């Protein structure tokens, strides 16, 4: 049985941890509001860009000469998987859920006899994937030093993907991230960005009629690379909100658990202290009676 001194030190230690988790919860709550606003503002832009590209692709008469970023290479043998996670932990199952979604996708590809390459954006994703899929990881990118999510960071990833595609390093590119729903719920997503899936765009977007100038091919050559960076930026914004929501929930649970543990330890401390006092009283009384 632990001594009174050990119990007292344990209570002090748990209370200190509780203060830290409570502070982290408050910081996450403060950051969540801004991150959620940014994620919600980014959704209409990315969806509208997909809608415009869909309309442009329908206007192309010569499908054989369509941009490769839109039509693909014609093969589906090599997949590039971009796994977007956080650079920091203590956020519940946020990183693990994205990695689980990616691993399930990897196993499906392997079962079909196809190969894949991985780019990790965020150190936590790399840490979880390197043991099993270290040979498939071709690039690890981290924005740990960035104070906030910005479009130039997404462009770095987008340009890397386009560079690999132009070198015929892969046929299909899919990104993995968490879509923010609310503080408690974040939904792991897989989104194919090369070639662009017209069926998904059709379901999520309204079809509008546009008149284009200059030609559709020229517009697409400018829009498609930008769309890749835009979709990655949207995924990063969704991840940012999901991370803060998950961290807020995790730290709230940790704070409550610490409080319950302090209560239990306090009860044990009081019982042990009472037992020690009772024992001393019995010894004094026994000694007095023996005289």
Rounded-to-integer distance, Cα 40 and Cα 43, Å: 6
* 8 A C-beta contact, residue 242 and residue 176: no
Residue 78 bridge partners (DSSP): 115
Residue keyed to tokens 């988790």: 21
Task: Say how far apart CA 39 and CA 98 lie, in whole Å.
Answer: 17
Cα(22)–Cα(42) distance, integer angstroms:
30
173 among known catalytic residues = no
Using DSSP, how many helices (H) and how many strands (E) does the chain show?
7, 5
User: Which residue among the candidates 91, 236, 237, 248 is catalytic per the annotation?
Assistant: 91
Name 224's Cβ contacts closer than 8 Å, sequence gap at least 6: 53, 67, 69, 70, 196
Q: Which residue has the tokens 């330890």?
A: 265
- Contact indicator for 121, 83 with CB cutoff of 8 Å: yes
User: SS3 of 80, please?
Assistant: strand
Q: How far is CA 7 from the centre of its chain?
A: 38
Contact (Cβ atoms closer than 8 angstroms) between residue 32 and residue 245: yes
**Which pairing describes strands 186-194 and 172-180: parallel, antiparallel, or unpaired?**
antiparallel
User: Token match 């409080």: residue?
Assistant: 259
| Rounded Cα distance, 222 and 10, in Å | 62
DSSP 3-state of 256: helix
**Which residues carry out catalysis?**
91
């Amino acid at each position: 049985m632990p001594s009174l001194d050990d119990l007292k030190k344990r209570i002090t230690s748990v209370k200190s941890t509780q203060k830290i988790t409570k502070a982290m919860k408050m910081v996450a709550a403060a950051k969540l509001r801004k991150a959620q606003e940014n994620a919600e503002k980014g959704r209409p832009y990315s969806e509208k860009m997909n809608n415009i590209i869909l309309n442009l692709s329908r206007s192309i008469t010569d499908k054989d000469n369509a941009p490769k970023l839109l039509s693909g290479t014609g093969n589906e043998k090599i997949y590039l998987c971009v796994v977007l996670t956080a650079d920091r932990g203590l956020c519940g199952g946020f990183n693990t859920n994205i990695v689980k979604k990616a691993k399930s996708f990897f196993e499906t590809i392997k079962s079909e006899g196809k190969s894949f390459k991985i780019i990790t954006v965020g150190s936590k994703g790399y840490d979880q994937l390197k043991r099993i899929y270290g040979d498939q990881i071709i690039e690890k990118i981290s924005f740990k030093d960035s104070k906030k999510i910005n479009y130039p960071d997404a462009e770095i990833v987008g340009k890397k993907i386009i560079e690999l595609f132009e070198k015929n390093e892969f046929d299909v590119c899919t990104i993995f991230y968490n879509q923010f729903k609310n503080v408690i719920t974040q939904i792991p997503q897989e989104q194919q960005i090369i070639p662009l899936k017209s069926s998904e765009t059709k379901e999520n977007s309204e079809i509008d009629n546009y008149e284009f100038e200059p030609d559709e091919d020229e517009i697409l050559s400018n829009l498609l690379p930008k769309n890749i960076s835009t979709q990655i930026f949207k995924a990063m914004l969704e991840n940012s909100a999901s991370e803060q929501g998950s961290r807020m929930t995790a730290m709230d649970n940790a704070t409550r658990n610490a409080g319950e543990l302090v209560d239990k330890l306090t009860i044990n401390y009081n019982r042990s202290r009472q037992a020690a006092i009772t024992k001393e009283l019995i010894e004094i009384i026994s000694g007095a009676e023996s005289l």
